[in-house]
Chains A and B, each alone.
Chain A
Amino acid sequence: MNPSSARHAEAPASQPDAGYLLAVSDLRVQFETSRGTVHAVDGVTYGVRRGETVALVGESGSGKSVSALAIMRLLPRTTARVSGEVLFDGRDLLALPAAHMRALRGREIAMIFQEPMTSLNPVLSIGLQLSEPLRAHLGLSEARARQRAIELLSQVGITDPEHRLRQYPHQLSGGMRQRVMIAMALSCGPKLIIADEPTTALDVTIQAQILDLLRDLSRRLGIALVLITHNLGIVARYADRVNVMYAAQLAEQAAAGPLFATPRHFYTLALLRSIPRLDRRRTARLATIEGLPPDLRDPAPGCRFAPRCAARIAACENVPRLAEIGPGHRSACVRAHEVAAAPEPAADSGARRRPAALPPLLEIEDLKKHFGVAAGPRAAMIRTPLVRAVDGVSLVIGRGETLGLVGESGCGKTTVGRLVVGLETPTSGRIRIDGRDIAGDAVRDFRGFRRKVQMVFQDPYSALNPRMTVGAFIAEPLLVHRLVPSRAAARARVTDLLRQVGLYPYMAERYPHELSGGQRQRVGIARALALEPSLIVCDEPVSALDVSIQGQVINLLESLRDRHALSLLFISHDLAVVRHICDRVAVMYLGKLMEFADRDTIYDAPRHPYTQALLDAVPVPDPAIEAARRPSRLKGEIPSPLDPPAGCVFHTRCPIATERCRREVPELRELSPGHHAACHNIGGAAA
C-alpha cells in the first residue's frame, strides 16, 4: 500500500470520531482599501480531521495566509470583512463572541508564524512569553508555569531549558526561536496548530529539523496541523491532504499521493512542471507559466487561472465549482479529466555541450575576507569581533561555464560574489579575470577589467532606483562611460535589451513601482547585460520571486547565457534550481569549501557528509519518493561565523567526525578527476 495513503488512513482510524475537527465552509474575506475592495479569499471550503496534516499550498496573493488569519479571527475588524462558516469541534468560530474566541486562541487552536525573528517580543524574556498562555488559559501558578515551560522547551528539542527561560529572543538563533514559537503553540495542549510558512525564513538543514519536529509532535500528541506553504517539496514530505489555492480560490483538493501523481487541475500541473527537480537530471527547460496572477480587486467571474492556462476553452469563463473527481479528490477545473492526457514538454538535449577547454575566465585563489579586522588603538579598546566570512576559497570558472555556489547562512557564498564583483576588497588572496589580478582594483576602475563582471541581485524591490525610469536606469552606464555615440543610440540599445529579456520596449518609460517582481528582475538582468560582461554573478536571482515566476527568469538566464556565451557564478541556497542551470557546483560552509564537482556527480553521488546532509534535508515534490527516503537529519545549529569551530568547521554537526577533525583543518583533495572534497574521512577513489 502506498505509504502516504497509509499515513492518511491511520489518522481517522485512531480516533473514534472520524468527523472533521475543523470544517471551513465558503470562507470569504474582503479588505477595504483606498483603491477598492480586495477579495483576498473567495469561497474556500476544506476540512481537517483530528491528528491529520493538511497543507494549504499557493503562491503569494493566493489568500492562504489571509484565510488562516481569518479562521483565527486575527484580521483587523475595521478593514476586513469575513463571512462564511468555520466549524471547530462543532462551534462556528466566526459567530463566537470575541471573549470566547480569545479563550480558544492559543489554547485549542494555536498559530505559528513565518518570521521567528520578529514574532517574539524583544524586550520580554522567553520564560515570560512562554508562561503567559499557561497562566492566562490554564490558570497555572507562576512556579507551575515555569516548570511546564521547561518541559515544553525540552519537548521541542531545546537544550539547557532553565537557562533559556531567562534569555531574550535576540540571544537565540532563528531555528531556536521557531522552536520556542512551537513550544508556545503547544503549551495549552491544542487540538489544532496552524503553521504559516514556518520554515521559509530558515536554513535548509534547520527547516528539516523544525518540520520533522512538527510532524513528530503531531503524531505523538494527536494534534492536527494546517501547514501553509508555497514549497511543494514540503507538501510532498509532510502533508496527508493538500488544498491548492490560486487567486483566492481553491483549485484542487486531494490526498498528497494522488495530487502529485495525477493532478486534476491545469494549474497544479503547470506548477509541478515549472519547478526544477533536485532528484532528476535536467532533461528540458522548465515549463513555465506565462503571465501574472490576477488583480483581486475586480476579479473576473470565471476560472482565474484561465488567462494563463494553455488549455483554456470557452467553458472556463463560467464560475468554477469544486467538483468531486475521484474519492477525496476535488477539482475546480472544467477539464479536470483531461489533465492527465496533457502532453509532456519537449525535452532538449539535457546535458548541454560542455564548453571547450579554453583558458579559464575567473580564477579565485585562496580568497579570504575577514570583517571587523581591528585597526588602530581605539578599536583595540573596544574589542571588535572578527567574522571570517570567506576563509580560503579557490575556484575556477571557464568561459561559458556556469558554476553554482551553494550553502546555508553564514557560509560566505554571497561574500564571494561581492568580492568577485568588487563591492568588497579581499583581506588576502587573488582574483584573476582573464589572467589579470583585479583583487586590488577599486570597483570604479573601469578601463581595467571590472566591466567584464556584472551582477544580478536578489531583491528586485531594491535593485532598481525607485526614482528613475527603467530606460534611464538601463542606459545610465552606457551614457556615463560613453559607450554609445548619442542618446538616440542609447535608447535603441535599451529597446534591444528590453526585448532580449522579454519585456516590451514601452516599459522603458515606466517606473519600478509599476512593475511586478519578475519584471523588475528582468530589468536588473537587462542592466547587467548592458555593459556586455563576460561573467555575471547571480546572487540568489530567483529566491525572492514567486514559484511560477522563478521558472520564467531561470529560462531567461539560460537563453541569455547561451546566446551571449556568458559565464555565470550562480549563488543560491535552492539546490533544485542550481541543479537545473549549473554545470558544476561548489558547496560552502562557514567560509570554507566543502566539496565541488560536476553537477550530476554532486547530486547523484556526493561524498562530503555536509553535502549529503544538505541534499537529504531538501524535500522533493513527490510523496512516493519522499515516503521511501530514510534520510539522516543533521542535528544541532549552524555555528555562528563569529565563533567558528576549530579544525574542520563542520565537525560539530558531522556524523562521521573523529578526533582528528577537531584539531586539523582538512585540505581540499581531488577524489576523482574534477571532484574535490575537504574531509579527512572519505577515501580517495569514488565509491
Chain B
Amino acid sequence: MSALEVTTWKAPLRRSARGLLSFARAQPLGALALVAILLMLAAGVFARLIAPADPVAIDFTAVLSPPSAAHPFGTDNFGRDILSRIIYGARTALIIGFTSSFLGCALGTLLGVTSAFYGGRVDLAMQRFVDMLLSFPIIVLALVVVAMLGRHLIAGVDVNLLLAIAIPITPQVARVIRSAALSIRAAAFIDAARIAGIGNIRIIFRHMLPNVMAPSLIMLTAFIAQAILLEASLSFLGLGVSEPTPAWGLMLAGNAVDFYREAPWIIIFPGLAISVAVFAFNFLGDSLRDWLDPRFRA
C-alpha cells in the first residue's frame, strides 16, 4: 500500500449526515463507490431473499449452460446457478474481507502507535520485526501461515484463513500508522499530557489513537480490498475457502480452469464481481483521503 500516503490533519472526521452529503458533493465517484459497496452489503445480508436459486444445488441436467432467462449468469460444471453463487459469494467475501482486514488494521495500528510512542529500543525492535515481515510478498506470507496452521474451523469459518489474510496486512498498517503516530508524538499536547503526569497507556489510548483514527479508517477500506483479493487468490490456489461454500475466488479455481475455454461465463462473472468489489473499496479509500487531506484539496 505504498501509494497510500497518510497525513494527520486537524479537523475531526465528521460523521454526521451533513458530512455524508458534503462528501458526495466533493467526491462524486467516491460516493458511487460507496453506493456499490452498500449494494454488495445488501446482497450479502439478504442473499436468501435475492438469490434466484440455491447456490449449492447441483443439477446435472443443466451443466455449463450459457446465460439464459432461467440462469442469468449461466451455470457451472455442476449445474449450479452462477448468479446465486455470486450473490452468496458476496457474503463470504465481505465477511472474510471485513474481519481479517479489521483484525490486521487493529493489530497494525496498535503496533504502530506503541512503537512510535515508546521510541528507542522498543521502536527499533518493532521496526526490525515489521521490516522482516514486509520483505515478503503478501501472498507468500499468507501461504506460509497457511502452511503453518492448516485449517481450523470454528462455526463453519476457517479461523486460520482469517489469520493468514490478517497477518500480511498488519505490518503494512503498522508502518504507515507509525509514521503518522510519530508526528503526533512530536506534538505539544502529548508533552502536555506527560507533564500533567498522565500515564503512558492512557496517553496512547486517549491521545494518540484517536488522532490516527482518520488515516486508520482510510487504510481499512484499502485493506478490505486487499483482503478480498487475497482470499480470492488463496481460494483459487485451493488453500482458502473450500467447496461447496460459494466464494468468488473458488469459482475461478479448480474445475473452472478446465472448462473456461468452452464456457467463458463461468469465469467472467466471478472475476467481474471481485474486480468491482476491490475497485469500489479502493476508490472509496482514495476519495476519502482526497476529501479529508487538506493538501489534496484544490
Contact = CB atoms under 8 A, between A and B. Distances in A.
A–B in direct contact per CB < 8 Å = yes
Contact of B194 (A34, A423, A466, A511): A423
Contacts of A459: 188
Given A79-B298, A465-B211, A457 B197 contact: no
B154 interface: no
Contacts of B199: 444, 480
B10 A513 contact: yes
Contact of B197 (A446, A461, A473, A527): A446
Interface stretch (A7-15, A105-113, A342-350, A448-456): A448-456
Contacts of B49: none
A458 B188 contact: yes
B11 A480 contact: no
A455 B191 contact: yes
Contacts of A212: none
Interface string B181-215: 00000111101111111111010001100110100
Contact of B191 (A423, A461, A468): A423
Interface in A509-528: 511-513, 524, 527
B297 interface: yes
Nearest to B207: A465
Contact of A450 (B12, B187, B189, B197): B197
Interface string B48-69: 0000000000000000000000
A476 B187 contact: no
Interface secondary structure of B, over-half rule: helix
B195 A421 contact: yes
Range for the number of chain A residues in contact with chain B: 35 or more
B10 A527 contact: no
A513 B11 contact: yes
A424 to B, nearest CB: 10
B187 to A, nearest CB: 4
Interface in A458-492: 458-459, 461-468, 473, 476-477, 480-481
A477 B197 contact: yes
A117 interface: no
A511 to B, nearest CB: 6
B252 to A, nearest CB: 43
Contact of B202 (A465, A467, A480): A480
Nearest to B199: A444
B26 interface: yes
Nearest to A76: B298
B195 A466 contact: no
B10 A512 contact: yes
Given A79-B298, A444-B199, A457 B192 contact: yes
Contacts of A79: 298
A466 B10 contact: yes
A306 interface: no
Contacts of A468: 206-207, 210
Nearest to B189: A465
A2 interface: no
Nearest to B298: A79
Contact of B198 (A453, A454, A477, A513): A477
B147 to A, nearest CB: 35
Contacts of B297: 34
A444 B197 contact: yes
Interface of B: 10-12, 26, 186-189, 191-200, 202, 206-207, 210-211, 213, 297-298
B207 A531 contact: no
Given A476-B193, A512-B10, 6 more contacts: A454-B195, A466-B12, A481-B197, A524-B192, A527-B192, A531-B196
Contacts of B189: 462-465, 473
A447 B188 CA distance: 23
B195 A422 contact: yes
Nearest to B186: A462
Nearest to A533: B195
A632 interface: no
Contacts of A421: 195
A78 interface: yes
B187 A34 contact: no
Contacts, number: 82
Contacts of B207: 465, 468
A211 interface: no
A463 B192 contact: yes
B197 A480 contact: yes
A179 to B, nearest CB: 30
A140 interface: no
The list of the 10 closest CB pairs from A to B, nearest first, reads A446-B197, A477-B196, A462-B187, A457-B188, A463-B188, A467-B210, A462-B188, A465-B189, A513-B11, A466-B10
Interface in A564-597: none
Contacts of A423: 191, 194-195
Given A467-B210, A477-B198, A481-B197, A461 B10 contact: yes
A480 B198 contact: yes
27 contacts: A423-B195, A443-B194, A444-B194, A444-B197, A444-B198, A444-B199, A444-B200, A446-B197, A454-B195, A455-B192, A455-B195, A457-B192, A458-B188, A462-B187, A462-B188, A462-B189, A463-B192, A466-B10, A466-B11, A466-B12, A467-B12, A467-B211, A468-B207, A477-B198, A481-B197, A511-B12, A527-B196
Contacts of B195: 421-423, 443, 450, 453-455
Interface in A597-640: none
Contacts of A445: 197
Contacts of A480: 196-199, 202
Contacts of B194: 422-423, 443-444
Contacts of A473: 189
Contact of A466 (B186, B202, B211): B211
Nearest to A446: B197
Nearest to A443: B194
A513 B12 CA distance: 9
Nearest to A466: B10
B217 to A, nearest CB: 13
Contacts of A531: 196
A450 B196 CA distance: 8
Nearest to B208: A465
A252 to B, nearest CB: 35
A446 to B, nearest CB: 4
Nearest to A78: B298
Which residue of A34, A78, A79 has the most chain B CB atoms within 10 A of its CB atom?
A: A34
A465 B195 CA distance: 14
B54 to A, nearest CB: 48
Contacts of A458: 188
A78 B194 CA distance: 45
Contacts of B197: 443-446, 450-451, 477, 480-481
